[in-house]
């Protein structure tokens, strides 16, 4: 079994790494100290299809494989962990359940906007006694 990244996966790594270093990197420490999310960069992230990494092209996504998704989150998190975890939640916790368990109506309603960054997926968690 060959576990080496494919050429396509390396292209994804290089593109996301460049974006993370060149676009996310500047100002990351200041945003972290101010506890700010780089909402001004959402459009740039959408252009790279980071919001639709694993969503099929029919819904506006990139249709990437799981390894490309993991590589993307890794490269983003290396520079700005808050962006990495936010996109991981968006793709895995918000988009994934609709894609694999939603009705056709739910998919048509939500996936195009989630995949393109027009809507950002999130979740709420509560821990009793925390």
Q: How many helices (H) and strands (E) does the chain have?
A: 7, 0
Find where tokens 């989630």 sit. Answer: 114
CATH (domain of 81): 1.10.540.10
- Residue 23's domain comprises 7-115
Residue 54 lies in a domain: yes
| Domain presence at residue 101 | yes
pLDDT tens string for the chain (130 positions)?
888 999 999 999 999 999 999 999 999 999 999 999 888 899 999 999 999 999 999 999 999 999 999 999 999 999 999 999 999 999 999 999 999 999 999 999 999 999 999 999 988 888 888 6
Give the residue among 51, 70, 59 at the shortest CA–CA distance from 12: 70
DSSP label at residue 65: -
pTM above the 0.75 mark?
yes
φ, ψ dihedrals at 2, nearest 5°: -90, 115
- Structurally, the chain folds into a number of domains equal to 1
> Does residue 123 sit within a domain?
no
126 domain-assigned: no
């Amino acid at each position: 079994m060959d576990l080496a990244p494919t050429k396509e996966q390396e292209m994804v790594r290089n593109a996301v790494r460049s974006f993370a270093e060149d676009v996310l990197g500047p100002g990351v420490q200041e945003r972290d100290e101010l506890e700010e999310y780089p909402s001004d960069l959402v459009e740039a992230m959408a252009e790279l299809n980071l919001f639709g990494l694993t969503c099929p092209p029919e819904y506006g996504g990139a249709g990437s494989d799981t390894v490309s998704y993991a590589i993307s989150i890794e490269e983003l998190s290396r520079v700005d962990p808050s962006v990495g975890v936010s996109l991981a939640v968006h793709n895995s916790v918000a988009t994934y359940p609709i894609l694999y368990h939603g009705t056709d109506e739910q998919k048509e309603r939500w996936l195009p906007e989630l995949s393109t960054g027009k809507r950002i997926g999130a979740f709420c968690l509560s821990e009793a006694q925390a």
